[in-house]
């Protein structure tokens, strides 16, 4: 639907169609595990431009560890991330390669949550990028992390893996598709 904006010096304005988030899959752990995988993502490529993972989880350790992300089973060193982390009393930045680091969680009495966007996951003419907002109640911190997978293959699977320890029963991971705009 177009509107006239002649008074503002423009001829028309197209009303944007809001993106639609559709729940594609949810994994609620019934037993502890070190990883969660979403696969067959190519099945969604015709309908969705981007993917989003929303999670609430806890781990079986009292030591700080990171949840990492791997695409298409790629265990190579062609990943990088940058993070901005705030604790209420300080701000810390960091970055590295070899994997996409996305979330800190401490011990099974501490809950962490995240929202991770996988942008243009089906586009095979550019590298895949991610944007993650996450926080941990036990550490009283929030973070913004950006990541890159230096590979132009379309993403067909996502492995989320906790370093060295288990993700405990009751943790939940939900995969959403962000529908293409017609």
For the chain, the farthest-separated pair of C-alpha atoms sits apart, in whole angstroms, at: 62
In a domain, 11, yes or no: no
Instruction: Note down the domain range covering 148.
Output: 20-179
In a domain, 37, yes or no: yes
- Predicted confidence at residue 164, as pLDDT, reads 67
> Can you give the pTM of this predicted structure?
0.84
- Examine the pLDDT at 3 and tell me if it is beyond 50: no
In a domain, 170, yes or no: yes
Residue 11: how many other CB atoms lie within 10 Å: 9
Summarize pLDDT for 132-151 with one digit per residue, the tens: 998 877 677 888 888 999 99
In a domain, 39, yes or no: yes
In a domain, 14, yes or no: no
Query: Looking at residue 88, which CATH number applies to its domain?
Result: 2.60.120
In a domain, 150, yes or no: yes
In a domain, 8, yes or no: no
In a domain, 29, yes or no: yes
Side-by-side strand order, sheet with 112-119:
21-28, 172-179, 48-57, 112-119, 128-136, 141-149, 79-86, 91-97
- Examine the pLDDT at 2 and tell me if it is beyond 90: no
Domain total for the chain?
Answer: 1
């Amino acid at each position: 639907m177009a509107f006239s904006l002649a008074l503002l010096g423009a001829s028309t304005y197209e009303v944007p169609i809001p993106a639609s988030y559709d729940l594609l899959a949810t994994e609620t752990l019934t037993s502890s595990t070190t990883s969660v995988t979403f696969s067959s993502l190519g099945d969604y490529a015709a309908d969705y431009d981007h993917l989003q993972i929303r999670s609430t989880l806890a781990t079986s350790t009292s030591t700080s560890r990171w949840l990492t992300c791997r695409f298409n089973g790629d265990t190579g060193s062609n990943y990088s991330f940058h993070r901005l982390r705030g604790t209420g009393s300080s701000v810390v930045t960091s970055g590295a390669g070899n994997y996409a680091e996305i979330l800190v969680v401490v011990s099974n009495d501490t809950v962490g949550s995240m929202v991770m966007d996988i942008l243009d996951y089906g586009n095979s003419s550019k590298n895949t990028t991610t944007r993650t907002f996450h926080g941990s109640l036990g550490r009283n911190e929030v973070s913004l992390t950006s990541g890159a997978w230096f590979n132009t293959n379309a993403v067909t699977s996502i492995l989320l893996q906790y370093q060295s320890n288990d993700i405990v029963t009751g943790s939940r991971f939900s995969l959403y598709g962000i529908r293409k705009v017609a």
